[in-house]
Structure 1
Amino acid sequence: MRWLAAEPIESERLRLEPLTVRHGTRMVSVLADPSIYHFMGGEPPSALTLARQYRRQVVGHSPDGCIGWLNWIVTLAETETPIGVVQATLLERSQAAADLSWVITPAQQGRGYATEAATVLVGWLNEHGVTGFAANIHPEHGASGAVARRLGLHPTAVVVDGEVRWES
């Protein structure tokens, strides 16, 4: 099975760069704020942890080949400064459905970057045949819920690891 491969995506203010292992060093400071992990768990990663994680992710699929991974670093187009990440996990062999996630560093939150990045991601995925979208969001994470609503997702009754499943 050949999965979709991430390509550069641009919006008015942002550039989504396909993830590379080299991004690890640049992303340590972006992902360093402990408040990022309040809803999703975990802790700020080290450069070594990110290098290992990114080395696994850039392959583009799970070890058994059953799940496709698309990962981008979100940068400000004007300065090329990294401010976050977006991800699409392809769950079906048809590649018609994707789970989405987004993280913007707290210093850049409140400016619409998560919505802008996720919107251009969904547009790119639509152009490549992906038509169904979902996201798992902590019920108290109002900002992520707002992004999901802007993407046309709606909360369902399904709860996965304490997070509400939103679907289009």
Structure 2
Amino acid sequence: MWMAAEPIESERLRLKPLTVWHAARMVGVLADPSIYRFMGGEPPTALTLSMRYRAQVVGHSADGCTGWLNWIITLTETAAPIGFVQATLIDRSQLAADLAWVISPHHQGRGHATEAAAAMVAWLRDHGVSRFAANIHPQHEASAAVARTLGLHATAAVVHGEVRWES
């Protein structure tokens, strides 16, 4: 079995393990169409998000080949959700993780993505994960900055139009 997400705290944020209950609160967080400029897609409905979360909280793919860890990012001060971070575990022998982060545009530019992603990476390291990667749109400078802060570097690999960053 893959590891399960646990609560994580940082200076200004709480990362709460994903539940289906979070869907209703996250619809508003993910409603701004500008979020999808680089990652594609469109704002989810409450039903779509609920179905997505129902699948994700299982914690692994149907065939068991990948593990899924998802956290909702909330502000410690208000408990308001502002985004999410996730890690897809892809190698049981060396525990490697593909990372992703999304912050509502209303909370961008304040270091929340970096703080949340760094807290997630620290937790993952404490749980034996040794290699990290992220796929980032070549024009998404904010996500590239987060990746650099996490110790990732851009590679020559391109996956679905996104640059592969690795530790």
TM-score tier by shorter-chain length is over 0.9
Q: Does the alignment pair 1:60 with 2:59?
A: yes
Moved over 6 A (4+): none
Which residue of structure 1 lines up, in the alignment, with residue 9 of structure 2? 10
**Which runs of structure 2 are paired with 1:85-164 in the superposition (5 Å)?**
85-94=84-93, 96-164=95-163
The alpha-carbon deviation at position 93 of structure 1 amounts to: 2.0
Please give the TM-score of this superposition, normalised by the length of structure 1.
0.98
| Counterpart Cα distance in 2 of 1:28 and 1:128 | 31
| Counterpart Cα distance in 1 of 2:143 and 2:32 | 17
When the two chains are superposed, the root-mean-square deviation of aligned CA atoms in Å is: 0.6
| Counterpart Cα distance in 1 of 2:107 and 2:87 | 21
Amino acid at match of 1:91: I
Question: What runs of 5+ residues in structure 1 fail to find an aligned partner?
Answer: none
The alpha-carbon deviation at position 94 of structure 1 amounts to: 2.4
Deviations 1:105-147 (A, max 9, x none): 0000000000000000000000000010000000000000000
Tell me if the contact between 2:94 and 2:131 (Cα under 8 Å) persists in the aligned partners. Answer: no
The alpha-carbon deviation at position 95 of structure 1 amounts to: 5.5
Please give the TM-score of this superposition, normalised by the length of structure 2.
0.99
Q: Does the alignment pair 1:74 with 2:76?
A: no
**Which runs of structure 2 are paired with 1:41-56 in the superposition (5 Å)?**
41-56=40-55
Q: Does the alignment pair 1:166 with 2:129?
A: no
The alpha-carbon deviation at position 10 of structure 1 amounts to: 0.1
Question: What runs of 5+ residues in structure 2 fail to find an aligned partner?
Answer: none
| Counterpart Cα distance in 1 of 2:24 and 2:156 | 39
Deviations 1:43-62 (A, max 9, x none): 00000000000000000000
